[in-house]
Amino acid sequence: MLLRKSLMVVLAMMLVVVTIGVSKSSAATGFYVSGTKLYDSTGKPFVMRGVNHSHTWFKNDLNAAIPAIAKTGANTVRIVLSDGTQYTKDDINSVKNILALVNQYKMIAVLEVHDATGSDDVAKLNNAVNYWISIKDALVGKEDRVIINIANEWYGSWNSEGWANGYKQAIPKLRNAGLNHTLIVDAAGWGQYPQSIVDYGQAVLAADSKKNTVFSIHMYQYAGKDDATVKANMENVINKGLALIIGEFGGFHQGEDVDEYAIMKYGQQKGVGWLAWSWYGNSSDLSYLDLNNGPAGSLTSAGNVVVNDPNGIKATSKKAGIYQ
């Protein structure tokens, strides 16, 4: 009897070891997409709640801005970078520094290249792709805390096919270079033409050997003008079986209203991540988009909504599993 009990204990212990081994071996090395959802490396659904930070134009403010953004409770910060073709390049060492600081404050870094904004030129998209490959030593191994937004608002035209053709070429280049991170692709039409994702998002995803691509709508006066538009634009992408975030939005844009409350409300209802534009530093004609008075100042009225609304950052942000 004693021998049988001992044998049962040994077998139970072996089962625990095997189970642990299976869970470890099947754990993801980084973020991944499954259906319409983004998951972190611990297997938990991850819904972005955060802001954009215009780093490339305010390179000296990093150490003030990142801790201040973290204090809002944000789980993600989207960082504006430059590949050097239009703005001052952010080199590999500066990117390493950015990532170390964002990691210290337990946020996920979404990195984007801003130089190709509004362009339909495939060469400019390729410049962004080549930039990511050139700094890959700063990125590889951080797939659980870094997401690559390939090119901010590349493809300014409201045209689906040209947009898709560009990304169907760009994504394989990144994968062939060994960049296995979750990728983000902005919609055509300066990010405001979600029909491009509805039309060709599945084809763009199919070009990704990792099937690890999230699509992004930038919601301003067209894509986010009112409650019904916001709801429809989110649902139309989700209904295609694609993962979605709202990579930028504000409450007002170029003389027209944007329904930021609907963006946050439906973002919460549908599990769609969002990143408000932008922490501070917009030009005088766009200063209404500033969320904060300086890199580490006080929240503006727009910032107060994004941070403190019942559907805002403080109430809805949950840290990635690696930071819990």
153 is catalytic: yes
248 is catalytic: yes
Angle at 111 between CA 106 and CA 115, to 5 degrees: 155
Among residues 112, 143, 235, 248, which one is catalytic? 248
Judged on CB neighbours under 10 Å (0-12, 13-18, 19+), 110 is buried
Distance CA 91, CA 299 (A): 30
Of residues 112, 153, 161, 260, which has the active-site annotation?
153
Q: Which residues are catalytic?
A: 153, 248
